[in-house]
Structure 1
């Protein structure tokens, strides 16, 4: 008879292979396995260790065990329309997926005037003063994202004093107690040549890019953040998450 801990680990690995559990997602904890499978803590612990030993997940002390990135070519998968994915933030997501993230800040200034952006055919405005942060995002030693954020200092005073590695979404909610109502996002593509002014990736050949424009909207239609980011098309894949809205039913 196959050991119980292997049956449990196989079940979770199959959920990862099927896409039910995505890179960066937290897998069931030891206590959850004990409760759901009616097993001892030793069996639960061996199940988690087996998943980790096979390279499907990684334990982060004090936080749990998270699915690692094992897609072909190690593409990073990001889900549009998922509040949970947005809340986790870039830095935290990469750590959970087994990468070593770091940033290089190209610009961090306060703009007295507001800024606007057209996203999905609608104009969104962040009233001044605005914090502009332009930074390059690294996974291990490779630049994978060129990110520009504009953040309302009216809604988030002194956020310019915080480090740039934070999950901004969590800071909006937990520090400034903003209720996020919606995140508007559009995705487009472009080929960036090595001699382009947009090439902050140290590219040596033309490379496809995903361009993500987004606006984070809180109560009373106030815009707390506008972002425009370039993602390397050879490093990222995007998925779409759609939830039913029964309010009109």
Structure 2
């Protein structure tokens, strides 16, 4: 009986319900792309009209939104608006913080606390290994907001040897895209450490303006370019009550 009722539904409804079920189950996460019109045409053997109506149905029901020239993205419909971020994801890093919020339906805002050039180098320990950027280095310290709520306190250090004059560019951009498009740098790896702390309200480094102690994720990361050159170091604090982190493993198959 269920299959008979299902067959009576218009094809675009059947397709849209399948995709919505993946969104509800978490198979498609907030900020991720839903299949494109061309992918729907290929996967379901339907016309472009049916594929387009399927995407419009998903959007009209509030599960996704279309961004012109980029695609249709899953909206954040969680009750507490937790943001899910995937560690080590080059795609997520390429998209950048602001664009990631926009595709989830939030309004981003950035306040730059410091933008300066350091003549000396900087270093950080990630996964038990020390990484160094020799000077000069661009330091950018900024606060990242979503719908007027501070979610991330971010400090980046960027090699000016690998990216000359990047300090002349606006900070309101995806640095990852700049590395690839302007400086033609191929990103070879991203390594990250995730830890958690409790940040007291009277801590002088606390920029979250929360009246009580706040759980905070601390994410240390390094972006490596060709020949393991250190392109960027980052240390960011994320509101622990607003973020969830996912990890995707790619185990090698040895055939045994």
Structure 2 length-normalised TM:
0.93
* Aligned match of 1:99: 106
SS of residue matched to 2:80: helix
Aligned partners of 2:48 and 2:94: how far apart in 1?
31
SS of residue matched to 1:73: coil
CA contact (8 A) 1:151 1:224 kept: yes
CA contact (8 A) 1:29 1:64 kept: yes
Question: Are 1:128 and 2:135 matched, yes or no?
Answer: yes
Residue-by-residue CA offset, 1:203-243 (whole Å, 9 max, x unaligned)? 11111000000011112221010000000001100000112
Aligned partners of 2:219 and 2:39: how far apart in 1?
36
- Where in structure 2 are the equivalents of 1:82-231 lying within 5 Å? 82-231=89-238
* Aligned match of 1:5: 12
Aligned partners of 1:245 and 1:213: how far apart in 2?
26
Question: What is the RMSD computed on CA atoms of the aligned residues?
Answer: 1.5
Residue-by-residue CA offset, 1:12-41 (whole Å, 9 max, x unaligned)? 111212222111111122232223222233
Aligned partners of 1:55 and 1:156: how far apart in 2?
41
The list of structure 1 runs, each at least 4 consecutive aligned residues, that deviate by more than 6 angstroms after superposition, is none
Aligned partners of 2:228 and 2:54: how far apart in 1?
47
Residue-by-residue CA offset, 1:113-161 (whole Å, 9 max, x unaligned)? 0001111111110110000000000111111000000000000011111
How many residues are matched? 248
Question: Are 1:19 and 2:32 matched, yes or no?
Answer: no
SS of residue matched to 2:76: coil
Provide structure 1 residue ranges, at least 5 long, that are not aligned to the other structure: none
Q: CA deviation at 1:190?
A: 0.6
CA contact (8 A) 1:190 1:209 kept: yes
Q: CA deviation at 1:80?
A: 0.5
Question: Are 1:31 and 2:38 matched, yes or no?
Answer: yes
Aligned partners of 2:192 and 2:49: how far apart in 1?
45
Q: CA deviation at 1:87?
A: 1.5
Q: CA deviation at 1:97?
A: 0.7
* Aligned match of 1:69: 76
Question: Are 1:43 and 2:44 matched, yes or no?
Answer: no
Change in Cα spacing, 1:246 to 1:130, as seen in structure 2 (3 Å) is: farther
Structure 1 length-normalised TM:
0.95
Provide structure 2 residue ranges, at least 5 long, that are not aligned to the other structure: 1-7
Q: CA deviation at 1:112?
A: 0.3
Q: CA deviation at 1:71?
A: 2.3
Aligned partners of 1:164 and 1:78: how far apart in 2?
21
